[in-house]
Chain A
């Protein structure tokens, strides 16, 4: 597609439920990132995928968070047993890969945990 696509754009869920957030990167981009943005804060790195290499999961805040990338394209971020502190905007970005290359961001998923 023309840009990074994320769905849903908004998700409201109840505490304790699982949620799945989807990211469709720009075609041909080998690198894919997930970031979390809390209100009034900068972007917090969560996870990074590069080609077929093992993902860098060092930013995931707890074992309730997981992500996968199928076929080197679409990625899904899953949050199990959601907590209120998980409420944030989850941003996906893709790039051609390599150090310092430009990240193109999607519009994000606004997650609200009640």
Chain B
């Protein structure tokens, strides 16, 4: 089956620092999605990428769809305590509706 490798598994940072996490796949993806999950809640979509090379921002978040269509990264600038949570990359492989999820990056922000 499809596999998404997400790194790092966890990050401990100080408030105000920038954060970067990435995801690579073993096959081509047509869409890359980045979700955030807070404790006791379901994942919430942060950014969606639909085109190779696309760079999209949502406030302090920036994500890019890799040119090879097999990778994506998410950057968070000037982190704040409420950024704490688990960040998942996800995507449907080519011509497939089933979202495959990475194992997540647990982000902890120390005030």
Instruction: Enumerate chain B residues within 8 angstroms of A99, measured Cβ to Cβ.
Output: 30-31, 92, 95-97
Interface of B: prevailing SS:
loop
Partner of A100 from the list B6, B31, B43, B102 (CB cut-off 8 Å) is B31
B101 CB-CB contact with A under 8 Å? yes
**Contact flag A100-B98 (CB < 8 Å), given A105-B43, A107-B41, A108-B42:** no
Contact B30 A100 (CB under 8 A): yes
**Contact flag A102-B95 (CB < 8 Å), given A42-B103, A42-B104, A43-B101:** no
Instruction: Enumerate chain B residues within 8 angstroms of A43, measured Cβ to Cβ.
Output: 43, 88, 90, 99, 101
Contact B103 A41 (CB under 8 A): yes
Instruction: Enumerate chain B residues within 8 angstroms of A45, measured Cβ to Cβ.
Output: 98-100
Instruction: Enumerate chain A residues within 8 angstroms of B100, measured Cβ to Cβ.
Output: 45
Q: Would you give the 0/1 interface string for B1-16, flagging 1 where the beta carbon is closer than 8 Å to chain A?
A: 0001010000000000
Contact A105 B42 (CB under 8 A): yes
The count of residues in chain B whose C-beta lies closer than 8 Å to any C-beta of chain A is 27
Partner of B42 from the list A31, A91, A102 (CB cut-off 8 Å) is A91
A106 CB-CB contact with B under 8 Å? yes
Contact A107 B40 (CB under 8 A): yes
Closest chain A CB from B58 CB (angstroms) = 13
Q: Would you give the 0/1 interface string for B72-111, flagging 1 where the beta carbon is closer than 8 Å to chain A?
A: 0000000000000000101110011111111110000000
B48 CB-CB contact with A under 8 Å? yes
A65 CB-CB contact with B under 8 Å? no
Instruction: Enumerate chain A residues within 8 angstroms of B101, measured Cβ to Cβ.
Output: 35, 42-43
Instruction: Enumerate chain B residues within 8 angstroms of A4, measured Cβ to Cβ.
Output: 42
Closest chain A CB from B5 CB (angstroms) = 11
Chain A to chain B contacts (Cβ below 8 Å), 11 pairs: A4-B42, A42-B102, A91-B42, A99-B30, A99-B95, A100-B31, A100-B92, A102-B33, A106-B42, A107-B41, A107-B42
Chain B interface residues (CB < 8 Å from chain A): 4, 6, 30-31, 33, 40-45, 48, 50, 88, 90-92, 95-104
List 8 extra interface pairs beyond A45-B100, A104-B45, CB under 8 A.
Answer: A40-B103, A42-B4, A42-B103, A42-B104, A43-B88, A99-B97, A100-B92, A102-B45
